[in-house]
C-alpha cells in the first residue's frame, strides 16, 4: 500500500509540474512591437490580430517607424526589419526573402517606352523616395556587380505608399519592395521592368534583444509569422 501511495503522490506531483510548466509557456502580458510603416500595416498586423485572438492573455503595444529603434533602451520586445542590424545586443532571425521591383503603370510605359537597361532611366520620370531628406538610389546588378543609380526625378516622397500611388497614376517609374506592389503587379495595374537586373537584397527579419530565455509571447508571435509565411515572400505577384 505504501508503494502504491508513493507512486500516486509522485504522479500527482508530476502532473502539477506539467500544469505549472504549461502555464509558464502560455503567451501572456504586453507585447511591445515596432514595425516598418507600410510593411507592418500590410503584412504583420493581420497576423497580430489572429495571434491576439488565439492568446487572450496577450495585449499589444504597436509603434510604426521606418527608423531603427533602440530596442533595449525603449523596452521593445520585437521589431520586424529588412536586414536587421549589427547591434551585438540583438538577435536577428530571418523570416522571408526581400526584393525590389521597378515598375510603372501601363499608360506611362505606352507613352514613354519601356527601359531596357538601367542607364535608360536617365530618359524617364523616376519617382524618388527620400529618407532623412536624401534621395535613396535605385539598386541593380549589372555585369555581376552591384550598382546604385542616383534617383533624380522631379517628384520626391517620404512615404512609399504615396510613391506607389503616384506610379499607379502614371506619374513615372518607381522602385519599391515587392511587398508593396505585389497585388498591383498581379492585377496588371503596375508593370515590372528591368527584372533581369534585380539584385539580392537583405532579407526580412525578426529582431529582438538578446536573452537567455525568450519569453513565450515573443516566441509565440515569431512562430505565428513563420506559420503564415513559411519562409517565403507570400506577397510576391503570382
Residues 168-195 have a mean pLDDT of 97
The dotted CATH code for 2-97+203-229 is: 3.40.190.10
Nearest to 229 by CA among 189, 179, 163, 172: 179
- pLDDT of 60 > 70? The answer is yes
Q: Which CATH superfamily is domain 100-197 in?
A: Periplasmic binding protein-like II (3.40.190.10)
Q: Where are the domains of the chain?
A: 2-97+203-229, 100-197
Alpha-helical regions (H) of the chain: 2-24, 37-39, 45-54, 71-74, 106-112, 160-168, 178-187, 216-229
Asked if residues 145 and 204 have their Cβ atoms less than 8 Å apart, the reply is no
Q: What is the rounded distance in angstroms from the CA atom of residue 85 to the CA atom of residue 96?
A: 16
Q: What is the pLDDT of residue 103?
A: 98
* Whole-structure pTM value: 0.85
What residue has cell string 529603434? 69
Q: What is the pLDDT of residue 84?
A: 67
Predicted confidence band of residue 180 (pLDDT cuts 50, 70, 90) = very high
Q: What is the pLDDT of residue 178?
A: 97
Tell me whether the CATH fold assigned to 2-97+203-229 matches the one assigned to 100-197: yes
Percent of the chain with pLDDT over 90: 75
Amino acid at each position: 500500500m505504501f508503494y502504491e501511495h508513493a507512486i500516486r503522490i509522485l504522479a500527482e506531483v508530476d502532473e502539477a509540474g506539467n500544469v505549472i510548466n504549461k502555464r509558464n509557456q502560455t503567451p501572456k502580458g504586453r507585447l511591445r512591437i515596432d514595425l516598418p510603416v507600410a510593411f507592418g500595416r500590410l503584412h504583420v498586423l493581420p497576423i497580430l490580430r489572429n495571434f491576439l485572438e488565439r492568446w487572450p492573455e496577450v495585449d499589444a503595444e504597436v509603434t510604426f517607424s521606418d527608423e531603427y529603434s533602440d530596442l533595449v533602451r525603449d523596452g521593445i520586445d520585437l521589431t520586424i526589419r529588412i536586414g536587421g542590424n549589427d547591434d551585438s545586443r540583438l538577435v536577428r532571425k530571418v523570416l522571408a526573402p526581400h526584393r525590389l521591383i521597378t515598375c510603372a503603370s501601363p499608360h506611362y510605359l505606352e507613352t514613354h517606352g519601356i527601359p531596357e537597361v538601367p542607364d535608360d532611366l536617365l530618359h524617364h520620370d523616376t519617382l524618388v523616395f527620400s529618407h532623412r531628406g536624401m534621395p535613396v538610389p535605385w539598386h541593380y546588378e549589372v555585369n555581376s556587380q552591384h550598382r546604385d543609380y542616383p534617383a533624380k526625378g522631379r517628384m520626391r516622397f517620404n512615404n512609399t505608399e504615396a510613391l506607389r500611388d503616384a506610379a499607379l497614376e502614371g506619374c513615372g517609374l518607381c522602385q519599391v519592395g515587392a511587398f508593396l506592389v505585389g497585388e498591383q503587379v498581379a492585377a496588371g495595374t503596375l508593370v515590372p521592368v528591368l527584372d533581369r537586373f534585380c539584385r539580392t537584397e537583405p532579407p526580412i527579419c525578426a529582431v529582438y534583444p538578446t536573452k537567455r530565455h525568450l519569453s513565450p509571447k515573443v516566441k509565440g508571435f515569431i512562430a505565428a509569422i513563420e506559420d503564415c509565411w513559411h519562409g517565403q515572400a507570400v506577397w510576391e505577384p503570382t
